[in-house]
Structure 1
Amino acid sequence: MSQMCGIGPFVTIPLMVAAFGGPQAVLGWIAGAVLALVDGLVWAELGASLPGAGGSYAYLREAFQYRSGRLMPFLFVWTAMLFIPLIMSTGVVGFVQYLGFLWPHMTTGQGDLVGLALVALVTVLLWRRVDGIARLTTVTWGVMIAAVAAVVLASYTHFSPSRAFDWPAHAIALTHGQFWLGFAAGLTIGIYDYLGYNTAAYLGAELKDPGRVLPRAVLYSITGIMACYLLLQVGVLGVVDWREMLDPNSVASQSVASAVLERTWGRSAADVVTVLILVTAFASVLTGLLGGSRVPYDAARDGVFFRAYGRLHERHGFPVLGLLTMSVVTAAGFYLSRHLADGAQHPPLTVLIDLLTTVMVLVQAFAQILAVTVLRRRRPGLARPYRMWLYPAPSIVAAVGWLVVYGYADRNSPGFHPIEWSLAWVALGTAAFLVWARRERTWPFGPREVREEFPAPAT
């Protein structure tokens, strides 16, 4: 839950209001939770039946190795090396936005330097053994909880129902195309904010009872975070007029939590909570790059990615190339989003969210949904301590939800072509796979190796 929340709601509440055009934005959090729940059941079945380290690349390897060798796990790692650091880029953008509340006259250039320096600092801090970092993340988790609690408490001590539920006329016009465009944009923002519900699946090898733990971890975390987001969204709308969030030059659009605290408990309280949010943003980037840098390392050690990513620092034992690659992409994503985005029309966060979700959908979301069916048919005897409820209904609903996110991406970010960029990135990854496969003499340039690491239980 701490990974799911992070700085997300503090920076996306105004985006959600803008997407829906009013306080009916609460629908976005609910829709995002529904998609997260049904997709989470996909993760739960795969994680319970294939409880190993690696998460997605292990599931895709097991399901698709019979026809395409190591292509699918390779492509997952390839896309993860783009969408994981882009998620971290959103944290850097959020950090700079909230810093603007404490530094109101910060220029664009100064903001760029702050963001790039933040990425550099995180990289330096991760250039060490992981032991001390674990203690740091525990502290920052407490800071995040304190920031959320402060905003919620402040909101409801000065709550105005008439302001919170000031829905515009025809707020839910199901027959109007503009509503569905806003809904798709809100669903994309919502699922971005719920990302992290799959974290427990990456720890499958360390769980004593994954068939019991994984489904509960998914369901409880999503339900709890949904309640938190709804409290935040409704509470903020009860203090700040939603129309202010549409003005790109207002504090409400850039630092909405700070605006809430300033109007309820005064400037000093707002400054304190803003510092807490800055710490939360910093921690989200730190922990994200910490975990993300291990993805190509695990895959390389497992023989499904470039060997160079499987090397550790001689003294401190961390994956050097994975950390450097993701740090560079994080910095580039932050910088380019600020200079290519078109201010109010296309905020940097919106562009980043659309890009990272489209890249993630193709290989991770769609492929994993298909992997559940493939494994059920090809390996019916595989131990499944948890089987998806009402199969295949959740898979179908998840596929439709992800299709909406993907299909509307170009319309949500016109001029940036996230769909085309995602297809190009996957095509480039396929070409990289062919180069790697030829060097490794594996399929399609060698025998197709089938390695069933999770055999059926003995009868």
Structure 2
Amino acid sequence: MSGTPPPAGGFVRRIGLFQATAINMSQMCGIGPFVTIPLMVAAFGGPQAVIGFVAGAILALADGLIWAELGASLPGSGGSYVYLRQAFQYRTGRLMPFLFVWTAMLFIPLAMSTGVVGFVQYLGYLAPDLGKTAGDLIGLGIIAFVVLLLWRGVENIARITVVMWVVMIASVALVTVAAATDFSPHLAFKYPSDAFELTSSHFWIGFAAGLTIGIYDYLGYNTAAYMGAEIKDPGRTLPRSIIHSVFGIMVIYLLLQIGTLGVIDWTRMLDPNDIASSSVASAVLEKAWGKGAADVVTVLILVTAFASVFTGLLGGSRVPYDAARDKVFFRSYAKLHPKHRFPMLGLLTMGVVTAVGFMIGRHTDLTTLIQLLTTVMVIVQALAQILAVTVLRKRQPGLRRPYRMWLYPLPSLIALVGWLTIYGYADKNSPGRHPIEWSLAWVALGCVAFVLWARFERVWPFGPREIREEFLDDYPGESSVETLPGG
């Protein structure tokens, strides 16, 4: 997260194109597709829900090209943290990277809480008599267990990640193959009469909801960019890994979505009392291959959900730690456990927020949880990065850009329209939940926290601005640091 190019004895550039693409795809395809297919069908009101996954892929690709240019030209460790710091340091000092960390401490654990909600949903297939309270307690217990495992330090993360990837691929493959063996085109392509009424406001509200769910399922296409200091030839590897992972996951999702709709009548997914609404993959396996096969795949999905929460909290807990170590966040988050050397406060904070998000998702609905995490993410990360590309082209024209966005600024405009559509329709798609207002309140609270922190640390606007143009020379070059008066 420090954002600096790898110094001697620091990070080693050992991750190639295949590994970077696998990292992205592993993060993209966790529990998401197994729990969102019914949500997508509900948003569109029929099997035309496939549109949502295609629209999500277009937005992910357009936004991914933004990540590609920024990651190729600023190949440090930290992703958005680095890009926002480099682009906006000239006028607002450390405000934007601080706000990114502040919002990440909300949207990262909220994303993890969706995995726990999905875990309990699929557990309900194996234990159909599982009550609401029992499900709540099991979910909270899973979160506590993950924190406990991470509290003792982790020695074999690479092996755990590989196991998660293998189980995830096995789960998706088995569901897709099972769907193909019992596929009915009549079910998959029988659309309601008003399915494509583009002049109807109902269609566009459903489209916005589907786009939100779609981009949630694609989140992770940028994971390798956070490891920029460890990527071999990042100018070529990062753009290609992003593009390959988006197209690869799009094919997987379309096969999974169309296959599921060809086995399960979409109206079953709208019935809250039908197992297809909460555990649609299990329903597919049961209909195609029987209850025994469905039980086995359900267990694999539970493992996938648990592993995604485990690795997500592992990485998420490092975000405030690295920022605090770089003196861009509260100092208390820079403390490590004296024995196991992990960030204690970051892990505890993320664990608590995950638990709160899980309870929100359980006692509202999963769609509301997805709306909350995407609206928080849109303001500081998505929209700010679109602006960052243009700002850096103007502020640092001499910056080495091994990859320049195709058809600039068209991808930026497509991403802008997509993110604004998600944000603008958020309240309509979560009536009474007010995700827009909550996201604005969280960012406003972050601004207050920044002012208090900046006052204590005596940085802009209460001290000088430190301009660090460390990527102007070929990496891994030396940083160029200039201290300017505040104000």
| 8 Å Cα contact 2:114-2:361 kept in structure 1 | no
SS state at 1:131 partner: coil
| 8 Å Cα contact 2:360-2:369 kept in structure 1 | no
- Per-residue CA shift, 1:286-332, capped at 9, x if unaligned? 01101111111111111111111111111111111111100000001
SS state at 1:58 partner: helix
Shift of 1:125: 1.1
| 8 Å Cα contact 1:19-1:185 kept in structure 2 | yes
Is residue 2:464 matched to residue 1:440? no
- The amino acid that maps onto 1:410 is D
- The amino acid that maps onto 1:132 is N
Shift of 1:139: 1.0
Shift of 1:452: 1.4
Hey, what's the Cα distance between the residues in 1 that align with 2:356 and 2:190? Answer: 40
Is residue 2:216 matched to residue 1:199? no
Shift of 1:129: 3.0
Shift of 1:336: 2.4
Alignment of 1:288-437 (within 5 A): 288-339=312-363, 341=364, 348-437=365-454
Q: Which runs of 5+ in 2 are unaligned?
A: 1-24, 478-487
- The amino acid that maps onto 1:80 is A
- Per-residue CA shift, 1:242-290, capped at 9, x if unaligned? 0000011110000000000111110000000000000000011001101
Q: Which runs of 5+ in 1 are unaligned?
A: 342-347
Q: Size of the alignment, in residue pairs? A: 451
Residue number in structure 1 paired with 2:264: 240
Residue number in structure 2 paired with 1:44: 68
Alignment of 1:27-426 (within 5 A): 27-339=51-363, 341=364, 348-426=365-443
- The amino acid that maps onto 1:350 is T
- The amino acid that maps onto 1:296 is P
Shift of 1:456: 3.9
- TM-score w.r.t. length of structure 1: 0.97
- The amino acid that maps onto 1:223 is F
Hey, what's the Cα distance between the residues in 1 that align with 2:351 and 2:461? Answer: 32
Hey, what's the Cα distance between the residues in 2 that align with 1:310 and 1:390? Answer: 41
Shift of 1:130: 3.0
Identity over aligned pairs, percent: 74
- Per-residue CA shift, 1:353-409, capped at 9, x if unaligned? 000000000000000000000000011000111111111110111011000000000
- TM-score w.r.t. length of structure 2: 0.92
- The amino acid that maps onto 1:368 is Q
| 8 Å Cα contact 1:16-1:189 kept in structure 2 | yes
| 8 Å Cα contact 1:54-1:299 kept in structure 2 | no
Hey, what's the Cα distance between the residues in 2 that align with 1:73 and 1:281? Answer: 30
- The amino acid that maps onto 1:389 is W
The match for 2:35 among 8, 11, 36 is 11
Hey, what's the Cα distance between the residues in 1 that align with 2:408 and 2:466? Answer: 30
Hey, what's the Cα distance between the residues in 1 that align with 2:390 and 2:191? Answer: 42
